[in-house]
A and B are shown apart, each in its own frame.
Chain A
Amino acid sequence: MRGIVKLFPGVVANDGVDLDIHQGEVHALLGENGAGKTTLMRILAGLYRPDEGEIRLDGKPLGFRSPRQAIDAGIGMVHQHFRLVESLTVAENVLLGWHTPRFLLGKRAGERQVQELARRYRLPVHPRARIWQLSVGEQQRVEILKALYRRVRVLILDEPTAVLTPQEVEELFDTVRSMAQEGTAVVFITHKLEEVMAVADRITVLRRGRREGTVQPGATDARALARMMVGRDVVLETPPGGGSPGGVVLKLDSVSAQSDRALPSLRDVSLEVRAGQIFGIAGVAGNGQRELAEVITGLRRATSGRVVLGDRDLSGRSARAMIRSGVAHVPEDRLGTGLIASMTAVENSVLKAYRRPPVGQGPFVDWGEARRMTEDIMRTLDVRAASPETRVRLLSGGNLQRLLLAREMSERPRVMVAVHPTRGLDVGATDAVRQALRAQQEAGVAILLISEDLDELVALADPIGVLFEGALVGVLPRSRCTVEDLGLLMAGAKLQEDSV
């Protein structure tokens, strides 16, 4: 792949990326979320078309117009979210779309072939089992079988280990190695350093859509990779004002929780956030951040452990109880959860305040009062909208976040949980949001800042903890915190001296 450029509205996902993939190698594609790994591979698999650049296979240029052509050329991709028909059997899924014309007649033969493949690559799964009966790990095997059946020469695995247990990861690595031995090129997308070192023959690091370099695992170590992945030198600003934090406001005591799929996603997390403190949570997305935020805001029930606010144990209380106790929440999903696209700024501004006076009067809502309150809210963070009656779907991303943050601030919270508060915002809006968070800090609010942006964490938060696979694997005071260390922790490595 040469000079691949892919633009999405407002984002350069790939910026002149070159990539060589050799026959029979396991090639790891390493990078943070949003580094452009998946986009690059979707281009290779014919799902996206590059805006610039070319792809050659065996020296011949390829111009895929559809995924089908990529499949025909021997390029297969196992997506993070599987593309399987739940109600069909394993064999049917493998055969689907491939030998369709003779599908019905060839079913038996197909099942035999699938079984044969499964045995050869040690991918144990019953060809006549139905997909919905299978575990996630088994479903992944079906996806790989699908690719093998189509005689892939380049197999792309997009974060294949994210959903697997450690044992399943080992089995997957065995399969990957045996495929490589037989001459298949395997591209392995990941952000976990450990895995890269374990399985890859070569490693390409992507950062912000650009290629940082390609290295061999023998010639590098986890620390160097982390630096490449996270990039830039460590920026350590002096902490802005803030003063010394006060007493503990929010305390989590060995909290565990499950994800929507009922998998353990928070493990024994304990932390304390003080008044006037911004406690940062770093980590690659999907390591329990969402669950952490939801447990504190009452949207998710912890399976064990305690959530204490001030001196009150609020474990297992509803979202409403948490709001009433002074927990504000800037959710990850701004438009859809934090704000309602089809409603006006006024209707959005009273999302929490509608219950009590002056807006809520008995069973009624005083919309005049709501409008006055909205004008105040919009003024605090300079939200630009044609009028308070504008539907918020017409606001820009920066204005949306300002409106959301200003509303949460107007609730005069004691605790604020901010999740990726500046993701996707332009420089101006990012700055406004950060300043607002600092102002809240100075006003004595205990802030839990969950972010993937290490610069942001280092600039705002002290201390910073890292979530990895649901566990808080390290809490570092800012003075001792390097982006490198954070990067290592985020990728699941252990620090030499167990810093706490």
Chain B
Amino acid sequence: MSVRRFGPVVIERRAVPSRRTLVLGRIGSILLALAVGALVFLATGLAPAESYRAMWEGSFGSLDALAETLVATSPILLTGLAVAIAGRALLWNIGAEGQLFIGATFATALALWFPTSPRPVLLTLMVLAGGVGGALWALAPAILRARLAVNEIISTLMLNYVAILYVDYLVHGRWADPGSLGFPLSKPFTDNATLPSFFGTRLHLGFLLALGAAGAFWLVLRGTKWGYEIRVIGESASAARYAGMPVARNIVLVMLVSGALAGVAGMAEVSGIVHRIQPDISPGYGYTGIIVATLGRFSPIGVILAAFLFGALQVGGYSLQTVGATASAVGVLQGAILFIALAGEFLARYHVRWQPGEALPEPVLEEALEADRARQAASSSADLADLAQAPLDHQGEPGTERGASSDAEGERL
């Protein structure tokens, strides 16, 4: 029933893709994406080998380069974790970008208001403020999702623009630096409000914060009751309700945690790198986090590796300019990696082979649907790879799964 023929191509679904297949698929898709990138370089009149060498030099060629890579990895890792933890509960936080900006704004507020407070105290409070800001920015979508089944993909996404424009407003007005000659910047932070950096590079404490967050992510999901509840909700909301777990409350909580992680990313950027707030503190780290979480299969280790890769790509992209390309070529590479990885996901689950010849019975629509339903019931969606397709699943039956969840759980919130 799960065998389909398209001309001479036969596609067969595998019951359970092996871990090895999945990991090899990931690596294969990255290599393939680099090959596609080479074609792009060729098309723009650059030598691929030279371009990649420049990128490699830029990302790993020296201590400074490596530090820069880790600097770029930090916010991506935090936003990736933010998207990943929401994803574990089958929620899509597309708003990490906005949460990052609001986290940065909250942290900046402290830096500007209490510039002379003792450094450890001020920095600690700024980290907390960043988390609170990000969480608050996720609060409205979380409550709407938990109580009214409002799609969080849309609501979190829309709030991104609000957040970025709000920062714009601040740096043009209230927080404008009189000495910036009209550029939209806040006043610079005092030393007390900047994260310490190491080895004479720009590598700052935010990187350790991000690694720590990944460790905490792992510990919470594996070892705590709450993490177990989140995993159960992600795998089967109806089982979670059956077991008496507070589904609506946990949806809100996990979105708050997600927002807080993104908010801390914002704090680390302003305090560790930029040392002031301005509208371009993030080149889309929140969105990169979505790709990273998906590529990392929503696991902390996977997200660390994917964040590192994307950090390296980003920094390598800057060096591309030295050979005459634009940094946006990196965007092409990142996109290619994601698309090819998703295709790899498909290949890992389906066995595609070239087999012209005898006709396979063409499954009747109804049967195919039935089989699909059975599969969905059986695999209750959230094998991590399925999350990659989750936006569609979410939309699938708004009335049933989601509606019911909000009905049954709303009061208990």
Contacts and interface: CB of A to CB of B under 8 A. Distances in A.
Interface of A: 42, 46-49, 66-67, 260, 297-300, 318-324, 329, 331, 333, 335-343, 347, 350-352, 354-355, 360, 363-365, 367, 393
A333 B373 CA distance: 13
Nearest to A260: B404
Contact of B239 (A260, A300, A338): A338
Given A338-B239, A339-B239, A363 B400 contact: no
Given A340-B232, A364-B223, A365-B223, A67 B365 contact: yes
Contacts of B379: 341-342, 393
Contact of A300 (B232, B244, B378, B408): B408
A342 B231 CA distance: 10
B392 interface: no
B366 A364 contact: no
Interface size range of chain B in the complex: 20 to 34
B243 A352 contact: yes
A299 B378 contact: no
B378 A351 contact: no
B228 interface: yes
A318 B244 CA distance: 7
17 contacts: A47-B364, A47-B366, A48-B364, A48-B367, A66-B364, A67-B365, A321-B244, A336-B238, A336-B380, A338-B239, A338-B242, A339-B239, A340-B236, A341-B380, A347-B232, A354-B225, A363-B225
Which 8 pairs between the two chains have the least Cβ-Cβ distance?
A: A320-B244, A319-B244, A47-B366, A351-B243, A337-B238, A340-B235, A323-B244, A340-B236
Contact of B242 (A48, A66, A299): A299
Interface centre among B231, B239, B241, B382 (most CB of A within 10 A): B239
B343 to A, nearest CB: 23
Contacts of B351: none
Contacts, number: 101
Contacts of A350: 228
Interface centre among A318, A329, A352 (most CB of B within 10 A): A318
Given A364-B223, A364-B225, A367-B223, 16 more contacts: A47-B366, A49-B364, A66-B365, A297-B242, A299-B408, A319-B242, A336-B236, A336-B377, A340-B236, A342-B382, A343-B232, A350-B228, A351-B232, A352-B243, A352-B244, A354-B225
B225 A360 contact: yes
A365 B400 CA distance: 31
Given A318-B412, A322-B244, A393-B379, A337 B224 contact: no
B226 interface: yes
A330 to B, nearest CB: 11
Contacts of A324: 244
A260 B366 CA distance: 25
A275 B244 CA distance: 24
B383 interface: yes
A323 B226 CA distance: 18
A67 B363 CA distance: 12
A491 to B, nearest CB: 28
Interface string B387-401: 000000000000010
Contacts of A67: 364-366
Contacts of A340: 232, 235-236, 239, 380
Contacts of A299: 241-242, 408
A321 B244 CA distance: 8
Interface in B230-250: 231-232, 235-236, 238-239, 241-246
Nearest to B407: A260
A362 to B, nearest CB: 9
B224 A364 contact: yes
Contacts of B238: 333, 336-337
B239 A319 contact: no
A321 B243 CA distance: 10
A403 to B, nearest CB: 13
A260 to B, nearest CB: 6
